[in-house]
Structure 1
């Protein structure tokens, strides 16, 4: 699951409360102990946290009839246009691979609850849905909703594509849930697996999408980047300053002493303030190096050894280990996928 404190639009909770009446559940019951009232869900500038949305889902499940498939039924409301600029950016992508990468890059702008990761090292490739940290009571509902969103997008991406070609491997063990997913979405389900993953046909990732428009896509991505910067504006002050200063000085191999001097403070004070914000200079520096390495591999076509050297790693193997640990896939696999000219993939 993504960070519970992540802020987002109240639109997803609004949909839940509007649909809840069909199951005999009131909006007040859905919002019980969330700190929200119905009025909050209809304010243009209002935000809620992911934790509040999960709590609302828990409440809905507590009061609704106990049956599988509710996540699918409510998930049908989550059509691409409901997601705003995030949805349009995905639809305007050139291929499904590019669309998935855009979805992952800007997941914080969506109503996605699971942490997404596209694993192309497997054959066939898999879109992993990490729901660790979710209450057990909501897992089925959330996974059903996510599968329905994928189905909703696919029906617009590739209207002739049959979801029967997709397999969902899940940690769930309820045959009734598998039956509901198969009946309603056409997706085959394998229960009691070690992960929650959508297994995709290999050729599907490279299939051109009919709504691709380069100008529209670039405009959407530009707006997504702008919105994401606004969403991330609550990054602790000193962390943000150190990150920016480190990125600007990365070619000069900055140290905590040089960054502290640049920011007009002492090394000791900088360490203390970063520790108070839950991070360290070493962590920020590593993330900055890997972010630049990711960009070089995605856009410059450099080999892994060169990128490792350019980002300050004396040994390519050290760069490969750090990169793989952060992103969940190797730098070599990213360089391979960059041949398709897609947007960078981050998780």
Structure 2
């Protein structure tokens, strides 16, 4: 499929306002006013600060136009922007990626759920032999913003990869369509990717070893994991407030996605016996199972609606041994199975491809 003929829904979708905040903060850090950055976007300061606000793709493109037209002397602007998109910028979608069992599963979900991100490029992931090629398509974008967006999206992907791996992504090669730029920008690209890009190529493409797709993820670095934990805690707090020992236990249950500890393990971490922990919880009108159900129920519903994961993917991220056990638990929480809940909420059935994706992790 030619990039110019890509269906608009592959890139021209409404996205969270967080992307506009990232871009505006970048501009303000370079001395621009908010009025300059929001010019011709139709966005107000109040809309920008709305945590649940959304922005049209064309509005984001206008913010980018404003950025590059007023800061033409900053060649690394796209790279700077992309490096500001952290796992937690993406909300629960970032949590879903972070808690994927392997990099291959994270890439698979990220590619399929591209419309939960802030990407304006579309990408194709293909495994050929022992290598994986990630190609970024941008011909559908206005020429004046195309290079910024390619730089931004590639740097954002690299930042996400680094945070879920806990270390820089070891690229074997980085190809760029653009002609070789200034020495300053070439050096910036080299520092970003860890290898010197090959310029004047047919595609904007990154290459890495296919073996990385099967490596188990280390739940990212402690800082990023802590941010995701705070994000999930805020979500669960909004649904059900807890204090005392019950709050400590519930917070611990959210700390390691996909690897939820049992009561004995948590009691040992608290330097008490499981019997003592159970007594404290009973005194507070709680139980370990109730707290575990609260966490799983809240995160399951949010992952279903904001990250659009399949039932198997949600089961994995919530620490269930199999999808059947998860479905039975969901029926207990909501009174209906997940499929009926999705239908009642008007949610699309997950699993449809968002972009061409030849790599299927085994």
Match of 2:52 in 1: 45
Tell me: CA distance 1:328–1:82, structure 2 relative to 1, closer, same or farther (3 Å). Answer: closer
Task: Please name the residue that 1:133 is paired with.
Answer: 140
Q: Partner residue of 2:206?
A: 198
Q: Mind listing any 5+ residue stretches in structure 2 that lack a counterpart? A: 220-255, 261-295, 309-347
| SS class of match (2:163) | helix
Whole-angstrom distance in 2 between the partners of 1:124 and 1:221: 34
- Taking the aligned partners of 1:10 and 1:21, their CA distance within structure 2 comes to 17
Deviation, 1:228, is 6.2
Partner of 2:79: 72
Q: How many residues align?
A: 242
Q: Distance in 1 between matches of 2:26 and 2:357?
A: 39
Q: 1:94 to 1:77 in 2, by over 3 A?
A: same
1:222 to partner: Cα distance:
5.8
* Counterpart-to-counterpart distance in 1, 2:55 and 2:90: 16
Aligned residue in 1 for 2:120: 113
Which of 57, 66, 88 does residue 59 from structure 1 map onto? 66
Structure 2 CA distance for aligned equivalents of residues 64 and 133 of structure 1: 24
Is 2:311 the partner of 1:226? Answer: no
Greater RCO structure (CA 8 Å; 6+ sep): 2
Contact 2:125 2:133 in 1 (8 A): yes
Gap change, CA 1:134 and 1:224, over 3 Å in 2: farther
The answer to whether residue 114 in structure 2 is matched with residue 35 in structure 1 is no
Q: Is 1:172 matched with 2:178? A: yes
Residue 89 of structure 1 corresponds to 96
Within the candidate set 258, 262, 272, 1:214 is matched to 258
Mapped partners of 1:68, 1:10: distance in 2: 25
Aligned in 2, Cα 1:81/1:168: closer, same or farther, shift over 3 Å? same
Give the TM-score, by structure 1 length. Answer: 0.61
For 2:267, the equivalent position in structure 1 comes to none
Q: CA RMSD in A?
A: 3.1
CA distance 1:51–1:215, change in 2 (3 Å): farther
Distance 1:72 1:329, change over 3 A: closer
C-alpha contact 1:89 1:221 (8 A) present in aligned 2: no
Task: Give the drift of 1:74.
Answer: 2.5
Partner SS state of residue 40, structure 1: helix
Partner of 2:232: none
Counterparts of residues 243-254 of structure 1 (less than 5 Å) = none
Distance 2:167 2:55 in 1: 37
Q: 2:14 aligns with which of 7, 32, 37?
A: 7
5+ residue gaps, structure 1: 230-287, 296-322, 341-347
Does residue 186 (structure 1) correspond to residue 194 (structure 2)? The answer is yes
Aligned residue in 2 for 1:21: 28
User: Deviations for 1:217-266, whole angstroms, at most 9, x for unmatched residues?
Assistant: x986763442367xxxxxxxxxxxxxxxxxxxxxxxxxxxxxxxxxxxxx
Tell me the secondary structure at the aligned position of residue 131 of structure 2. coil
Residues 75 and 108 (structure 1), Cα distance of their counterparts in 2 relative to 1, 3 Å cut? same
From the superposition, tell whether residues 35 and 209 of structure 1 become closer, same or farther in structure 2 (CA, over 3 Å).
same
When the two structures are superposed, what TM-score results if normalisation uses the length of structure 2? 0.59
Give how far 1:122 is off: 5.8
* Correspondences of 1:304-315 after superposition (within 5 Å): none
The answer to whether the 8 A contact 2:111-2:355 is kept is no
